């Protein structure tokens, strides 16, 4: 429908009175609606992302820039995102814990959504214009992880203590993860200042920057302190876990450890058992013997969202110490329970 001539004439009269031309308005509109390309916007997304997001999504963001780098943000279609998801599923590298590329497909969608959520927050596009949010994210399959049996845990520890080029380090790693149920990142981030050997505590910095003090046995705390001292940790900020040459360990130590264990124990390789299974094993034991609330606290999940009931079943550090003491059969300075004989040493948990 064409505009009313009288209305157009009135609008032109107002513009003339303001000293503005139609060409001026068109030029300003072009500036207002212009959006950066994928390649131009990527550095801003990287700068705003935390280290965890960059580590998880960085590869996929680079692939987006390689595929659609010269396109403005609003010129990528949902079908483009879907096509990249399918491509990543087909070409995903086979790993011990892979699910036929399903994880890669999930990560593509999650990375694209994070990218476009930043663009929406910056006011570059409307939320309804995000192509990533119009593509269904593959439903996550149930985890295949389970609690290890006492015999399986003993076998794993026996192999770690009798093979490899640093059995002391490997045995210490397995014990730390079994007692504290910490994640791999939490162990790697441990510094000398994060160890309280007197009170049997380690300060864990884990997912989303969460920080908590976690009880460990006094025996393990003493071994950790001696390990750090012998291998050159001096300053409070020096990393706790170190190779024999004094360098801090990296995630590759875990990769080598489980590869070696899998070569000697075929069932470990077949089931894709990893460090996280130790966390699962410990938390399952704690839940069975001390209840859901203590297990949540032991896992560091006390602030995670859940049903309203979780407000009333929070456990404190002393309850976690009680569970640790019962699990290891060793007294702990923060434990309040007198009975500590639920289970013997950590190597035979379940």
Residue 134: CB atoms within 10 A of its CB come to: 13
Percent over 90 (pLDDT), the chain: 66
Q: Are strands 195-196 and 201-205 parallel, antiparallel or unpaired?
A: antiparallel
Q: How far apart are CA 32 and CA 35, in angstroms?
A: 8
CATH topology of domain 150-348: hpI Integrase; Chain A (1.10.443)
Dist CA 248 CA 235 (whole Å): 13
d(CA 305, CA 296): 11
Quickly count: other Cβ atoms within 10 Å of residue 102's Cβ. Answer: 15
The answer to whether residue 326 scores a pLDDT higher than 90 is yes
Residue 106 pLDDT > 70? yes
Residue 170 Rama label (left phi>0; alpha psi -120 to 50; beta): alpha
Determine the average pLDDT of the residues in 268-296. 94
CA distance 141 to 117: 25
Cα torsion through 180, 181, 182, 183, rounded to 10: 160
Residue 344, pLDDT score: 44
Q: What is the pLDDT of residue 312?
A: 59
CA 104 to chain centre: 15
Rounded Cα distance between 214 and 302, Å, is: 13
Greatest mean pLDDT among 79-88, 231-240, 305-314 lies in: 231-240
The residue with greater pLDDT, 1 or 46, is 46
| Per-residue model confidence as pLDDT tens digits over 90-100 | 886 655 545 44
- Quick: pLDDT tens for 52-68: 788 889 999 999 999 99
pLDDT value at position 350?
46
Residues 250-275 have pLDDT tens digits of 999 999 999 999 999 999 999 999 99
* Choice between 109 and 311, residue whose per-residue pLDDT is larger: 109
Contact 227, 242 (CB under 8 A): yes
State pTM to two decimals. 0.71
Give the pLDDT confidence of 115-173 residue by residue, as tens digits: 999 999 999 999 989 999 999 877 766 677 889 999 999 999 999 999 989 999 999 99
- Which whole number is the average pLDDT over 13-30? 61
What is the pLDDT confidence band of residue 208, given thresholds at 50, 70 and 90?
confident
Domain ranges of the chain: 1-31, 38-134, 150-348
pLDDT on residue 56: 86
Do 33 and 27 touch, CB atoms closer than 8 A?
Answer: no
Condensed to tens digits (0 to 9), the pLDDT of residues 213-228 reads: 999 999 999 999 999 9
pLDDT digits (tens, 9 = 90+) for 141-152: 667 788 999 999
Question: How big is the CA angle at 100 (ends 142 and 58), to the nearest 5 degrees?
Answer: 90
Rounded Cα distance between 285 and 148, Å, is 10
Answer yes or no: is pLDDT of 340 > 60: no
Question: Tokens 């060793």 belong to which residue?
Answer: 330
For the cut 50, the answer to whether the pLDDT of residue 31 exceeds it is no
Reference 172, options 84, 253, 112, 116; nearest CA is 253
| pLDDT above 70: residue 304 | no
Q: Helical H runs in the chain?
A: 5-18, 22-33, 38-48, 51-68, 78-91, 102-121, 150-162, 167-180, 184-188, 218-230, 251-264, 266-271, 275-290, 292-299, 317-328
The pLDDT, as a whole number, for residue 137 is 78
* pLDDT of 28 above 60: no
- Alpha-carbon distance of 186 to 306, in angstroms, equals 23
Q: How does the average pLDDT of the chain come out, rounded?
A: 85
pLDDT of the residue at 207: 78
Q: Across residues 314-329, what is the average pLDDT?
A: 92
Percent of the chain with pLDDT over 70: 82
Q: What is the mean pLDDT of residues 281-301?
A: 93
């Amino acid at each position: 429908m064409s505009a009313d001539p009288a209305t157009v004439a009135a609008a032109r009269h107002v513009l003339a009175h303001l000293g503005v031309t139609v060409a001026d308005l068109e030029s300003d509109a072009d500036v207002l609606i212009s959006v950066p390309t994928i390649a131009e916007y990527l550095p801003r997304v990287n700068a705003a992302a935390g280290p965890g997001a960059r580590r998880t999504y960085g590869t996929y963001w680079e692939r987006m820039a390689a595929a659609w780098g010269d396109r403005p943000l609003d010129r990528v279609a949902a079908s483009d995102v879907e096509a990249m998801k399918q491509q990543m599923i087909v070409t995903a590298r086979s790993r011990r814990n892979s699910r036929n590329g399903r994880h890669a497909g999930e990560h593509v969608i999650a990375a694209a959504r994070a990218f476009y959520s930043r663009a929406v927050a910056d006011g570059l596009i409307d939320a309804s214009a995000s192509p990533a949010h119009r593509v269904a994210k593959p439903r996550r399959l149930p985890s295949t992880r389970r609690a290890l049996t006492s015999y399986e845990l003993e076998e794993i520890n026996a192999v770690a203590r009798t093979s490899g080029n640093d059995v002391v380090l490997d045995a210490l790693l397995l014990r730390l993860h079994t007692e504290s149920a910490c994640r791999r990142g939490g162990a790697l981030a441990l510094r000398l200042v994060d160890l309280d050997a007197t009170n049997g505590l380690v300060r864990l910095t884990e997912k989303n920057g969460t920080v908590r003090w976690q009880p460990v046995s006094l025996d393990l705390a003493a071994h950790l302190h001696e390990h750090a001292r012998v291998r050159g940790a001096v300053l409070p900020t020096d990393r706790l876990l170190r190779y024999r040459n004094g360098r801090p360990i990296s995630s590759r130590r875990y990769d080598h450890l489980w590869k070696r264990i899998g070569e000697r124990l075929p069932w470990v390789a077949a089931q894709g058992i990893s460090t996280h299974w130790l966390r699962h094993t410990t938390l399952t034991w704690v839940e069975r013997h001390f209840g859901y609330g203590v297990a949540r606290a032991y896992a560091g999940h006390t602030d995670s969202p859940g049903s309203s009931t979780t407000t009333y079943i929070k456990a404190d550090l002393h309850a976690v110490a009680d569970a640790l003491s019962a699990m290891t059969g060793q007294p702990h300075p923060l434990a309040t329970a007198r009975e500590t004989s639920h289970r013997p040493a950590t190597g035979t948990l379940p």
